[in-house]
Structure 1
Amino acid sequence: MAFRQALQLAACGLAGGSAAVLFSAVAVGKPRGGGDADTRAPEPSTWTGVSRPGPSVWDSNWDRREPLSLINLKKRNVESGEEELASRLDHYKAKATRHIFLIRHSQYHVDGSLEKDRTLTPLGREQAELTGLRLASLGLKFNKIVHSSMTRAVETTDIISKHLPGVSRVSTDLLREGAPIEPDPPVSHWKPEAVQYYEDGARIEAAFRNYIHRADAKQEEDSYEIFICHANVIRYIVCRALQFPPEGWLRLSLNNGSITHLVIRPNGRVALRTLGDTGFMPPDKITRS
């Protein structure tokens, strides 16, 4: 009798442990409205187009540039087999590392009625000077500057560019500020309309796909590229590049004129060297407006 009771208790313990493991596995995807947990595979974010992998799972083909995915396997020669595959893989393999420097624009006049009136403040201009000096002091051979077409980003670029003579610059609407994706948890002080998420989200995701990826196979040397844009855009890009839930972007905070440094290796691995660095600015020059 005692032996039977012990078996029953052990069975209950195992069942409880299994339930705990199952709950932890699906808790991230539980429905907000209550009810039974949904054990189906997570739905892809509206415009990211990819299902979020489980914990500790890295999608090596996140930028759709993993060499094996670029090869049409149907064209493989059956006789040569692996030798031909290996040579074709080498043709598509990246060799260089990309260093991405994401710069948030400097402080600006937030009360401008029109976007063109939201120019940099005197302090904002000082911040841009300090950021430019910091970038120049790194001693790197920057390849290009890509900047948002919004006034505050253009003016920040104008000042930074003076410290990096000879570096080409390109303006783009893709990097303009916006609402990338509805944040989780939601906040009460900032609630864009659903249509803004729909429009801005697709554009900012397009910016990510266009600019954030491993080097092209033809690139022989490491590159150092500067992107001058906005806090929401940078935070979203960081989350996407690190394969963190993009809905968590608003949990990050970036100072004006700050430097965020991403590294993309030839194998597609991504590392965050710095996030929102303003350690090169005096404390009285640091703002987040």
Structure 2
Amino acid sequence: MSFRRALALAACGLAGGSVLFSAVVVGKQPGRGSDTDTRLGSSSATVPPATAAPPATAAPPAAAAPPGLLLLPPSASCPPAPGWIERPAANSGYWDSNWDRREPLALINLKKKNEETGEEELSSRLNHFKAKATRHIFLIRHSQYNLDGRADKDRTLTPLGREQAELTGKRLASLGIKFDQIIHSSMTRATETTEIISKHLPGVKKVSTDLLREGAPIEPDPPVSHWKPEAVQYYEDGARIEAAFRNFIHRADVKQEEDSYEIFVCHANVIRYIVCRALQFPPEGWLRMSLNNGSITHLVIRPNGRVALRTLGDTGFMPPDKITRT
């Protein structure tokens, strides 16, 4: 296929509203010679080696990509595209502006738009659904606790864990922020950590929830050998932790006029999963992060739904001999 034809096909993809990527090179797999076995979505395609061009009078065969390039499947609006163009899979570099289902345009039924007032009416309705405030979310991992406890009630904070909670509470108080509330896991170690922290933040309301309890959010990738819960645990815990994310992590309500500052005291697995989901990173990567006891993770959610990670697992306010990850 000529380069001119390739450019024409690329232009067709752009005209149809598709976003195109440049070629993604895939290395050869051992034992496959010059062929490359790739997966695009849920299907598999083998790219053959380049062959000689057919005679001009013959009907052109399906376009073949050079070895080592991903194939782009045909679309309804365009003929088969050359292999050096790739349509990205979901969540691979694209920001979903309606990730929390609070994007104003998604909340309006455009079919009911007033035809007489047109754009002015639409603009007015959009403003009705737009958030005005920024949410600051501080995710605190509980302090060190007694690992020998068989039941949750026996897994209380160690003396060092209580020191860590004191240091975290002092750090939060030193920020000079008027916190709106503390939402904490109902597990013993998170509840005790909350009680100590709250002494340094008098007057801040405390709320306990089962949604933030520790668990196995989703099977990690890559897997680890030292921690392998049963598949049913991922199924049960994952649904609950995902529910916690959807319930607590979203842009501000449209009725909220001022920026808010909220503290969530919970667990390492929950925090790591929430960070991945909030930043729209693959949630399976949650175990690639490590969080110290009593650490502070700061997420910011803007009115337009954009999310920023200010700090991840900060324990710089603790002396080195007080830092643990148990």
Which one is further off, 57-66 or 98-107?
57-66
Unmatched 5+ residue regions in structure 1?
A: 1-6, 11-19, 28-34, 43-50
1:212 aligns with 2:249: yes
- Structure 2 distance, partners of 1:194, 1:41, is 22
2:148 matched residue in structure 1? 111
Indicate conservation of the 8 Å contact 1:52/1:245, yes or no: no
- Structure 2 distance, partners of 1:287, 1:112, is 18
Q: Which amino acid aligns with 1:137?
A: S
2:56 matched residue in structure 1? none
Which one is further off, 223-232 or 70-79?
70-79
Q: Which amino acid aligns with 2:267?
A: H
1:224 matched residue in structure 2? 261
1:234 aligns with 2:271: yes
**How much has 1:76 moved relative to structure 2?**
0.8
1:53 matched residue in structure 2? 91
1:39 matched residue in structure 2? 40
1:249 matched residue in structure 2? 286
2:171 matched residue in structure 1? 134
- Structure 2 distance, partners of 1:195, 1:23, is 37
Q: Which amino acid aligns with 1:256?
A: N
- Structure 1 distance, partners of 2:212, 2:157, is 18
1:96 matched residue in structure 2? 133
Give per-residue Cα distances to partners, 1:236-280, cap 9 Å, x unaligned.
000000011000000000000000000000000000000000000
2:220 matched residue in structure 1? 183
**How much has 1:22 moved relative to structure 2?**
5.0
Higher relative contact order (CA 8 A, sep 6+): 1
1:124 matched residue in structure 2? 161
Q: Secondary structure at the residue paired with 2:122?
A: helix
2:205 matched residue in structure 1? 168
Q: Secondary structure at the residue paired with 1:85?
A: helix
Q: Secondary structure at the residue paired with 1:153?
A: helix
Q: Secondary structure at the residue paired with 2:40?
A: coil
- Structure 2 distance, partners of 1:231, 1:111, is 18
Q: Secondary structure at the residue paired with 1:109?
A: coil
1:151 matched residue in structure 2? 188
Indicate conservation of the 8 Å contact 1:105/1:228, yes or no: yes
**Aligned residues: percent identity?**
81
Q: Which amino acid aligns with 2:314?
A: D
Q: Secondary structure at the residue paired with 2:39?
A: coil
Q: Secondary structure at the residue paired with 2:177?
A: coil
Q: Which amino acid aligns with 1:253?
A: S
**How much has 1:21 moved relative to structure 2?**
2.2
1:277 aligns with 2:279: no
- Structure 2 distance, partners of 1:121, 1:287, is 12
- Structure with greater helix share of residues: 1
Q: Secondary structure at the residue paired with 1:90?
A: helix
- Structure 1 distance, partners of 2:222, 2:178, is 40
Indicate conservation of the 8 Å contact 1:102/1:260, yes or no: yes
Give per-residue Cα distances to partners, 1:89-109, cap 9 Å, x unaligned.
000000100000000000000
1:17 matched residue in structure 2? none
1:193 matched residue in structure 2? 230
Instruction: Figure out how many residues of one structure are paired with residues of the other and give that number.
Output: 255
- Structure 1 distance, partners of 2:318, 2:231, is 37
- Structure 1 distance, partners of 2:196, 2:319, is 18
Q: Secondary structure at the residue paired with 1:110?
A: coil
Q: Which amino acid aligns with 1:21?
A: A
- Structure 1 distance, partners of 2:95, 2:273, is 18
Q: Which amino acid aligns with 1:160?
A: I
Indicate conservation of the 8 Å contact 1:132/1:161, yes or no: yes
Q: Which amino acid aligns with 1:95?
A: K
1:259 aligns with 2:296: yes
- Structure 1 distance, partners of 2:90, 2:156, is 39
Give per-residue Cα distances to partners, 1:14-47, cap 9 Å, x unaligned.
xxxxxx92555xx9xxxxxxx94232379xxxxx
Q: Secondary structure at the residue paired with 1:247?
A: helix
**How much has 1:52 moved relative to structure 2?**
3.4
- Structure 2 distance, partners of 1:270, 1:251, is 20
What are the within-5 Å matches in structure 2 for residues 62-77 of structure 1? Answer: 62-77=99-114
1:203 matched residue in structure 2? 240
Largest Rg, 1 or 2: 2
- Structure 2 distance, partners of 1:52, 1:223, is 31
| CA-atom RMSD in angstroms | 2.0
Q: Which amino acid aligns with 2:38?
A: A
